[in-house]
Amino acid sequence: MNDTKLIRAEAILAEMAQIFFAENDASPWGKKLSSLAQNKTMHPDDFRSQIKRFYGGMGSLNDIVLIAPNGKVDREANVRFSKLKNELYQLIFQT
């Protein structure tokens, strides 16, 4: 993974975390994504491996539906999150 893709992946993770924090400031997913985005000492291969784990199995990024404080699906946040999730997938799995 080259530096440009690594920097973009970090930015995507940070943006995804912000989406979670906007919905719930104690979000476990938000904390995971934010922590990984801020980890500047991790080897790129380990970074990719960590992200790959987010995409498999039950409770993965693919299972997330963001709910607004009013209890309804937050369509705007879900569309934005989905675009970021797909871009991150392309960066990590197509490298």
- The pLDDT of residue 90 is 95
C-alpha dihedral sign at 92, 11, 74, 65:
positive
Q: Report the percent of the chain where pLDDT is more than 90.
A: 71
**Neighbour tally for 10: CB within 10 Å:** 16
What's the pLDDT score for residue 3? 87
Banded model confidence at residue 24, pLDDT cuts 50, 70, 90 = confident
Q: What is the pLDDT of residue 22?
A: 84
Which of 31, 14, 8 minimizes the C-alpha distance to 90? 8
The string of pLDDT tens digits covering residues 33-63 is 999 999 888 999 999 999 999 998 888 999 9
Rg (CA), the chain: 13
Tokens encoding 88: 């991150």
